[in-house]
Structure 1
């Protein structure tokens, strides 16, 4: 009977196919009926010349192909892709032809599978010599084995991202659907790799948090199967019908189109109650050594070159990409803070004065915890893929009287939250208030420095190790750090913080009244009087309750009320004393004195910002061993220099 069908097919195949759909179904049914149920498709046709007859499919139907050679059945026939496997069970599978180096997205529903085929011509098509030899051998009728010998082996980079997934129809946000499963085969004996394949060569690719990457060495075609688990019948009403899963797959002999990087390259500068400032590591031609991407130095001369982007997710808000935290396309599509809510620019502020990209995230919620994701889109035309970095945790402030300022004209290295009052100053006015105040003090200093013989012989110079330029640089660094205090919530309890203006209230110009903090009720006259008599937050009898802001104009003009300060680092004062002539009268409070404890803080070698210094970034040193060692060594020198200066 099989020979009869074969002859029929051969006869009809000699002319333009006219086989209608009914005849196709009849042929398919008869063939299924004649195959013993314990024999698989590849076992039936393996080693038989009839395989060629079947793998050609039935053309001219306008409904896809009937491919019995690999048990794919009706493949994408416009009726939902419904198929019957050899056990007679209905399933859904689809096949898609892929292009080398092209990223494409695909939806997939519960219980469905997609087969992605990358042909040898796509893999080896760019090799002119190989293609010419293959064409010659094809013309000469050589076997497939000879073709593979000509081609040799080539590595194909497989990358995968799950972008969307079904949503649990309940307030229980802890439930996530099972992950998509990924299989591949580089053997023509298995053109439908998947979870139900037995006795054939295939490989499982692990999908971790929505991300997979695998290198495949092949000498011929590749088949990649993506499988979505069947929905448990007991959960039928628990999952929303939309969206289904959506994923991106890329097969390329040149590049990895999706990536996930665990080495940190994004750092927190500071937060306030509604914004956060982040910065990348140094962008150089060897950034990859420190977790970034190597840059072309020519691009870094262009201020509009901002190859990185950022996303953030409020951890107090249910995340739609739960279980997809390593997927670039999931974060790109589903994060609740997107690049549209971010100001992006280049800066050379901070470590090494190399170019860095900075991100000013807006529209954040106060007193909230965020995951911040650094990302880098691929720049290829039509490509939506990219690299995602492991998220960084950032907490917004609570009290509402600290605000981030950065990119100041004079104190250009200042970038952190300062004492503020949004009812009196907008961001630009606040920046000008602090920067102009520092400039006025700087002008007075320059008059004094002009009295020093800077350009003179070594025998008449005030120091053989330092000169007037060193003195000016040290003074400016110290001045900006001292006159522009780094602000923290008064409610914060870190041991390195110093309370400021604890007996003062916040002036709400909009409400024309006093408040303990901007988010608290306006006080009446009697409540204000009671507050002043009680000594404020710390109460009477505590000497810290009367410690004002170190810059008196803050209390009298900005009127932020009580806040806490991250004190300037004591080495800023030491460097100033060591760099300037002694007649200028600079001095630092002694170790262990009350004045030192109130005025200056200590550095943390692990990278936490426990004292304020210009260009400070949270945990930059703690994430890179080389930087940590360098800073410990530098700090040791500073301590030694301070000890010698005090002798």
Structure 2
């Protein structure tokens, strides 16, 4: 049988070094002494042997930034009943709650008297009430029958908010000619109307039930506030919380990146359905008071989970790491301290900072990646005492105290399901695999510490040989060490370490119906032909059943896991090594249509070749096919579906491909980046 090696280190043959433990493709020879034209380091199995000693880069826990995670109590709200003859007078930054009947055609009315020429934020949340199903606005025939546009049909089922800045219109509402900029609809149970300037007449506010209740009746409990101090409630458009993984009883989630000053962030976890869940995941999913009220009730129940937090530097590394370019050599301070990547998105509230940094970086490429002047961290939340096989929804809330007034930001929710297989055990903060945060297959009766100690020696051996090879390249030389405008040798080592950890330590999940997995279960169907795209959005899971069925033999020997499903590494974990390392390494990865689908998975938006991100239907016409968590390089979505084990490579690829081309005058920067990518 011919040998199909997956990643090569031809230079090791020239240097006479031995890559130990050697790594082989699934189903091929396991004899370390076999020869080939090139010594390659592919995906498959890890053996043992002598190794070059080295020191692995360890997980940094001292991030020098901290975040409070105690959930600040919800602001108190005053129950009020606005009188028909006199609107209720709101007080600055004081929340009120009122009941709004779906049959109340007169609505509820309020007034607010801010100082003239001062901005005002008016926010509305739906705490409880009927959940009106939306119309299918993509059905043109239905829209014709209703005699409405798609926007009109969408708005007709929502509670509406109206604001007037004229005493001639003291009871603003539907069909009264209110300026569109002063009209809001409680999409997801929340709406906000910013008023640029208060007037001498004050402000007049009306809240009305949905125009089309679709046969439902009942009463809404609303929460309303007006503030000249701050946005009391803001719903963020960017992702803020990210699901790492879970086992039967625990789950791990992490926040966005932050620097100093650290934010005050809190995690709320609710059942997705059943008791203590929101009345509707779509009608109330952005409502502050509905989420806080549900959490308050759930937290008092015997089923409430424990949430503990700590700082981590996992997933904070940017693609561009040439630290010297951030510095003003004379002042020894960062030229731009705002680099704060959040899963490939621009930092909240700082839309051009990352781009500015890339412009600086493109001006001078130096191989110095030791800049630590703007340390970044994430808050990781360990949620325990969950129920096996249950669906949960997590919300991240950020709170800022502005002169005694609390302003909150609610980030988009993420969903996840706990596992049922007791073999899967959640691990994280491994010093030798700092980006690893997922469940591994492990016998519950064994010691995790002892097995991880053995794993550390094995991974260190491979890392040491690779590091010794890379050390022959003049990485620190400005004259000879520049092989890319954006990649560094440090990035090469990180990419290799992440790949090594992904293939050495399998990611455990529940067993799956093979018909609902797009991974090759035994390799027999791989004939080098084009495989269909993953149109059903199934995960790349291989069932490991029976003795000695694991990808690596030592997994069965050390961990004695029993039957489990393995979520395969993303092919891009291998390709990131090829992109990040100098040509000297001569790294290569398996072809998707030949052998890769036995050892790797790929992103949900990949085409039939395993590449072409944004293909396979992409994120959909409205960009919400994956729940808004990401639109490209989708290794997991906001609905709790995980397609392949990315080890952070999805975020890095989004950052690399989406960080430039915002300003048209930066064509030169884009061209430079493309050239750098070709050199990767």
TM-score, with normalisation over the residues of structure 2? 0.51
Structure 1: how far apart are the matches of 2:655 and 2:493? 32
Structure 2: how far apart are the matches of 1:210 and 1:436? 50
Measure how far apart 1:221 and its partner are: 1.7
Q: How does 1:113-132 map to 2 (within 5 A)?
A: 115-119=109-113, 122-124=114-116
- 1:225 maps to 206
- 1:264 maps to 239
Query: Does the residue aligned with 1:394 lie in a helix, a strand or coil?
Result: strand
Corresponding position: 1:347 with 2:312: yes
- Contact 1:268-1:277 at 8 Å conserved across structures: yes
Deviations 1:447-484 (A, max 9, x none): 768987958999xxxx9779997886565434322221
- 2:289 maps to 329
Structure 2: how far apart are the matches of 1:368 and 1:332? 21
- 1:185 maps to 164
TM-score, with normalisation over the residues of structure 1? 0.53
- 2:456 maps to 439
Query: Does the residue aligned with 1:188 lie in a helix, a strand or coil?
Result: coil
- 1:511 maps to none
Match of 1:99 among 91, 99, 105: 91
Deviations 1:367-392 (A, max 9, x none): 44444333323434775662223333
Q: Which has the higher contact order (CA 8 A, sep 6+)?
A: 2
Query: Does the residue aligned with 2:120 lie in a helix, a strand or coil?
Result: strand
- 1:164 maps to 128
Query: Does the residue aligned with 2:429 lie in a helix, a strand or coil?
Result: coil
Q: How does 1:30-69 map to 2 (within 5 A)?
A: none
- 2:15 maps to none
- 2:396 maps to 374
Q: How does 1:211-222 map to 2 (within 5 A)?
A: 211-216=190-195, 217=197, 218-222=199-203
- Contact 1:310-1:372 at 8 Å conserved across structures: yes
Match of 2:645 among 585, 601, 612: 612
Deviations 1:25-69 (A, max 9, x none): xxxxxxxxxxxxxxxxxxxxxxxxxxxxxxxxxxxxxxxxxxxxx
Structure whose alpha-carbon radius of gyration is higher:
1
Q: Which has the higher helix share?
A: 1
Which segments of 5 or more consecutive residues in structure 1 lack a partner in the other structure? 1-79, 84-91, 125-152, 169-176, 284-296, 501-536, 539-543, 643-647
Structure 2: how far apart are the matches of 1:382 and 1:164? 28
Measure how far apart 1:419 and its partner are: 1.0
Measure how far apart 1:496 and its partner are: 5.0
Corresponding position: 1:278 with 2:253: yes
From the superposition, tell whether residues 499 and 560 of structure 1 become closer, same or farther in structure 2 (CA, over 3 Å). Answer: farther
Measure how far apart 1:408 and its partner are: 1.6
Structure 2: how far apart are the matches of 1:436 and 1:261? 42
Query: Does the residue aligned with 1:407 lie in a helix, a strand or coil?
Result: strand
**Aligned residues between the structures:** 437
- 1:314 maps to 272
Measure how far apart 1:107 and its partner are: 3.4
Measure how far apart 1:415 and its partner are: 0.9
Deviations 1:61-100 (A, max 9, x none): xxxxxxxxxxxxxxxxxxx9897xxxxxxxx676543333
Structure 2: how far apart are the matches of 1:483 and 1:384? 47
Deviations 1:318-367 (A, max 9, x none): 84443222212211221587796333333221253543333333344444
